[in-house]
Structure 1
Amino acid sequence: MYEIRFHGRGGQGAVMAAQSLADAAVRSGFHAQAFPYFGAERRGAPVQAYARIDTKKVRTKSQVHNPDLLVIMDESLSDMADIASGLKVEGRVVMNTTKRPEEVDLGKGVDAICGTVDASALALEVLKMPVVNTSMLGAVAKVWDVVPLESIVEAIEDRFGEKLGARAGMLNGEAARAAYDSTVIGRTQGRKEYGKIAEWAPEWNDIPIGNSLRSDTFEGVAIGPASSSQNLTGRWKWSTPRYDKEKCIRCLRCWWSCPDSAVIRLDDDYMRWDMDHCKGCGICADICPVNAVEMVQGAHTW
């Protein structure tokens, strides 16, 4: 049995990618399943999706912990956690990145055949939007020959055509073919080490009875009513607000409109952005009457 794990962000289409790959596998004579796993259901939040492919009925229903194939739809996820954890010894990796395979570092101990493709650029060119799922499936066909490209394209055109119309199905099929042709295959060897993931709160029996959880420390780990000091949601964003102080008229609209309180009002009524927690929703740019805020593609920390 082949097991595949997709890592992406909400809105990139990881779930549809897993479903389309399973559909393509069935068209090629296999049995298959696909299902998602995610926390915060919003654009930009980390998402996982899984697929299993076998020559006989698939009865396993658990998450995929030891994938044969790892599909990384956003390379910034590899900076947040050890997403290659559990990859099998002969496992393969497909990553959306501008890097070459030998430049990819997925952590110490990872030594795998790797395919890289700039799926974001291809999606913008072909689809006019940064939804990379179909581009990544084209790269999957190049790196991992279990399911052929033609079956993948056929599944994409039917699935996306049914939901979004025939033209959308055709364009997504084109994105897959373009990614197949553009994918570079090499080998990645991990070097960096990931720290141990710390729990943000104590066990239930360590919480004071009848009291709210105080901001404190527990076994060296910061805890409190929320975990925002450790959970840097600013990494979710696809685009980043850039503030032009010279244009700002200090109307404060961005400040009171930000849903995450990431716009910080300074003493002189000018603004500063908390880029560690700004998710790049773009409300500040939309509401600014003098265009003092513009959204720039990518996650930046200026």
Structure 2
Amino acid sequence: MARDSRSNDTKKKGGLGRGIEALFEDEPQVEEAEEEIQDLALDDIRPNPYQPRKTFDDKALKELSDSIKENGVFQPIIVRKSVNGYEIIAGERRYRASRMAQKTTVPAIVRDFSESQMMEIAVLENLQREDLTPLEEAQAYEMLQKNLGLTQEEVSKRMGKSRPYIANYLRLLTLPSKTKHLLQHGELSMGQARTLLGLKNKDKIDDVAKQVVKEGMPVRKVEALVASLNSKKPQKKSTHKSAFIRASEHQLADKLGSSVNISENKTGSGRLSVSFSSVDELNRILDIMGVDLDE
């Protein structure tokens, strides 16, 4: 039978530094036993506006909902008071599953958190559970940077990650939209996406990403493909000139005694260019063409 909350709700994943507790170490500590658990109306509760997770597993949510129907919610969600009701700090999955189970209330603990604490908790909670896709994780770091005015170094310290780790995730946000879609839906891995960022011709990323997914390429093969594409010199567009244009170039070159190039586009217009290597040569060409600059 599915449980109403995952056993690792409070389990800390390695590499997250001091974790959520570090955000509140300067605040008076309240023993959990003294915290009041209230049954709050679901209609009065709204999701955390800074929740980085955009997708929830429907199957897992249905299993949790079925468990809540039979057993109720064992672990209360955590909320903060807002202008209109409450905002979720932690436990959106239980909130969503309770709604799915057609419950009207959910057990909750009300705590007083600032906006910045809400943002950081939302990110840390999901990172600890490994709930975020690579793209969602990147967007979460970007949100912390923009909304809290943090540098990459400051984000790395708060999240307990290295600065290169944060930088590598933020680079994913520069991927084109179609490749982002593949990454978000798990068709493209973090390693594959990072490798595609190495393509010199950024316009090719979407097409190469599609090829990578279609052929199921491992990262090493993607690296080889990117290296191969980067080493290819761009092919010059071949220009097919008509016999009339070529003949005109030859006759003008003979008459002017200099190199002549005529380019023609599809509309019939074009450009005539005459090469010269010095001012004297330019004056000579102008004389031949009957151009008198003194007039």
What is the TM-score normalised by the length of structure 1? 0.23
Q: Which has the larger radius of gyration?
A: 2
Structure with the higher strand share, 1 or 2: 1
TM-score, with structure 2 as normaliser = 0.24
Higher helix share: 2
